[in-house]
Chain A
Amino acid sequence: MASGIVGIDLSLIWAVVIIFSLMMYVVMDGFDLGIGILFPFVKGKEERDVMMNTVAPIWDGNETWLVLGGAGLYGAFPLAYGVILPALYLPLIFMLIGLIFRGVAFEFRFKVQEGKEGMWDKSFIFGSLLATFCQGVALGAFIDGFHVENRQYAGGSLDWLTPFSIFCGFGLIAAYALLGSTWLIMKTEGPLQALMRRMTKPLVLLLLLFIVAVSLWTPLSHDAISQRWFTMPNLFWFLPVPILVLVTVVFLLRAILKEDAHVSPFVLTLILIFLGYSGLGISLWPNIIPPAISIWEASSPPQSQLFLLIGTLFIIPITLMYTAWGYYVFRGKVRTGEGYH
């Protein structure tokens, strides 16, 4: 076992760090990808400017969590990095290309002559949709698991392409769109905010539909997952998760009707996403390469994990502090005409 030289389970801590950074990514880049997904529903240039300006100062930091997830996997679980990434080759490459199209739009859109932003609006929409869809597909394929032989991915190049993974791709689009719409309720006002309030209700119901479908689909197609959830006493322990999902949905639907609720819809959406994420975690733990390779088997040597951990435990809290400071500096509502150079 890779646990070890100082009597603590390094692999376990690392799994927690990576799960944490991926969740930070899903939540933070989720709302700014969501803004790209919602762009087609907002036509006015000024309103689009406002939408973009709500995330312009922070999107880069949000995306860095994805790099940390990738690099942390590389450093702490190189076997998983070396198996999962080749297995998801095409969806990941197209996700990266999507992120290129939307990432450059932040800068380019404000650099073109007046009236020519259309091209970069399209690039922003296309990139956000492509990146989100590919992430969802990758997630679906991850849940379905990988065929591994001799420490190498041994499946075919299109194994990731299944009805389930495609379904997850659309599910994630709904999830990010909801994060985006509630973020905008918090950060904007007037007609744009009203539009987002109207759009949030169908998005909540749509996401609920996806959550229910995935919750039924995964145990039906994977015995291990159904064992995990539907045996005693597990069922008893995990039952709060679906119950809390329903409670959160009810609160969320009520919150968007209140004119003075600015922050609560976003917070409730965060809770909803967190619950969905926990549900997946419960289904898959402790496998880092489903269906059979655990975090301990995929670990890098303890020398690597310990070296990383010393820095990480010290640096991540500092990172969170200055990230929070950045959000604080740009707090409050964003309005037309402000925000960019």
Chain B
Amino acid sequence: MFGLEALDLARIQFAFTVSFHIIFPALSIGMASFLAVLEGLWLKTNDSTYKDLYHFWLKIFAVFFGMGVVSGLVMAYEFGTNWSGFVDFAGAVTGPLLTYEVLTAFFIEAGFLGVMLFGWNRVGRGLHFLSTIMVAIGTLMSTFWILSSNSWMHTPAGYELIDGRVVPIHWLEVIFNPSFPFRWAHMTIAAYLSVAFLVGASAAWHLLRGNDNPAIRKMFSMAMWMALFVAPIQAFVGDAHGLNTLEHQPAKIAAIEGHWENPPGEATPLILFGLPDMEREETRFKVEIPVLGSLILTHSFTEQIPALKDFPKEDRPPAYVVFWSFRIMVALGLLMIAAGVWSLFLRWRHKLYETKAFLRLIMCMGPTGLIAILAGWFTTEVGRQPWIVYGLLRTKDGVANHSVTQLSITLVSFVVVYFAVFGIGTVYALRMIGKGPHTGEGDLTTQGGPGHDRHPKRPLSASDEGTEKAHSHDQLTGH
């Protein structure tokens, strides 16, 4: 198809399905924690604004979660269908990690999701809150295992090579491999920021249209506190992650920086913009600041960072992708920090909810968290090339042996189905956001909502009476 080889098609297919997928878990991770906080605050303060917000975002969470489940199922099988060479080589490590993700994350999410979505009137407040917390914990556990597995592919540790295949020797070293803590923290915070900006943008949209109620103000305020405190933390974590990459994957850093060679005695400049050219082995049209590269990456004025020409041609990641994807991520991160600072200033002047220019900015920044996540993942994954397991197995040796025809059929199917189904799902979610949280939203759910009390519709039976008593008992003690 289009002169592409089977390997290219397999890579495009994986990149496409995983890029689509990551958006939904990122939102689920952030929203599940957000919902746990909202329900906790409601139980603590009894302020019905939190209950309204909980029920409003719960419906949207359900849509994103559903899309995450079905697009994630594809991923769990795609490792095997498309990357059997990788599975044969590294399955002894990556397989168990995925199994633990299923056992300790997916089941917990799925097991408590039903009660979280439909059990409002079926269980007491405490049990419902517990279910929300368990779903939130499930999403974080899921991040833990899948990022451990992914990080191991970047910085393999705790293994031996026996008969040309990986055998795990020290599981703690495998799980807590050198890049894992940084990647886990970076991704989890990124998910929180994505949701903060999505929530903030939703509130800004309503405020700009003159829809103003305590719930909308509350969610806007919460989102802006997140931006203020969490965006700078993310910059700090990102910097630490970068230094870790410099230590373990220097070629990736050289490619990100578009840095080709080290003249003796010259500190590394920071290239702001330019076009890295792999054939000519230079970064063209570059705008650079002397010494700053050394300062940022080595925290010194003289030390050099590795350059692309230090690595054989066949081991260099494509700099023209990572150079730009990295800059997009960083620029969006800086914009988030700036938005947080501006929000603090406006809050101090009591103009947070009225300043049109600020509201417009925050509205436009709705998708920035997700774009930054995608840009970051492109940087780290393309930067790992040409390796699938860094330094051990090349991507071309990991691919399953499928024909171009087969891969073209499935790729086209995925593209059509994903855009249609997930596109429509996203429209539904945005439409629900557009309807906005109303005052009293949380009480509407009680009528005809999930777990709607059953007894009015059928004759009282002993067991029903029992349930009913248990309910009122819960309400007396738990509320």
The answer on a CB contact under 8 Å between B99 and A64 is no
The answer on a CB contact under 8 Å between B98 and A71 is yes
Selected from A73, A96, A341, the residue in CB contact (under 8 A) with B117 is A341
The segment out of B213-221, B225-233, B406-414 that lies at the interface is B406-414
Bound together, the chains give a CA A329 to CA B93 distance in angstroms of: 38
The answer on a CB contact under 8 Å between A90 and B69 is no
Q: B432 in the interface, Cβ–Cβ < 8 Å? A: yes
Selected from B77, B96, B167, B457, the residue in CB contact (under 8 A) with A75 is B96
Bound together, the chains give a CA A73 to CA B80 distance in angstroms of: 10
Selected from B114, B421, B449, the residue in CB contact (under 8 A) with A60 is B114
Bound together, the chains give a CA A90 to CA B84 distance in angstroms of: 15
Selected from B67, B81, B93, the residue in CB contact (under 8 A) with A85 is B81
Q: A4 in the interface, Cβ–Cβ < 8 Å? A: no
CB neighbours (8 Å) of A90 from chain B are: 406, 409-410
Q: How large is the interface on B (under 10, 10 to 19, 20 to 34, 35 or more residues)?
A: 35 or more
CB neighbours (8 Å) of A152 from chain B are: 84, 88, 401
The answer on a CB contact under 8 Å between B88 and A82 is yes
Q: B36 in the interface, Cβ–Cβ < 8 Å? A: no
Q: Which of A115-162 contact B (CB under 8 A)?
A: 123, 151-153, 157
Q: A184 in the interface, Cβ–Cβ < 8 Å? A: no
The answer on a CB contact under 8 Å between A316 and B103 is yes
Q: A236 in the interface, Cβ–Cβ < 8 Å? A: no
The answer on a CB contact under 8 Å between A103 and B69 is yes
Q: B358 in the interface, Cβ–Cβ < 8 Å? A: no
The answer on a CB contact under 8 Å between B96 and A304 is yes
Q: Known contacts A99-B70, A100-B70, A319-B111; is A157 also within 8 Å of B402 by CB?
A: yes
Chain A 64-95 against B: per-residue CB contact (8 Å), 1 yes, 0 no? 10111011111110110111111011101110
The answer on a CB contact under 8 Å between A100 and B94 is no
Q: How large is the interface on A (under 10, 10 to 19, 20 to 34, 35 or more residues)?
A: 35 or more
Bound together, the chains give a CA A57 to CA B428 distance in angstroms of: 20
CB neighbours (8 Å) of A70 from chain B are: 76-77, 80
Q: B106 in the interface, Cβ–Cβ < 8 Å? A: yes
The answer on a CB contact under 8 Å between A341 and B58 is yes
The answer on a CB contact under 8 Å between A341 and B62 is yes
The answer on a CB contact under 8 Å between A315 and B104 is yes
CB neighbours (8 Å) of A307 from chain B are: 96, 168, 171
Q: Known contacts A56-B118, A111-B63; is A89 also within 8 Å of B450 by CB?
A: no
The chain B residue with its CB closest to the CB of A55 is B114
Q: B115 in the interface, Cβ–Cβ < 8 Å? A: yes
Bound together, the chains give a CA A108 to CA B421 distance in angstroms of: 10
Q: B345 in the interface, Cβ–Cβ < 8 Å? A: no
The answer on a CB contact under 8 Å between B102 and A71 is yes
CB neighbours (8 Å) of B79 from chain A are: 74, 81
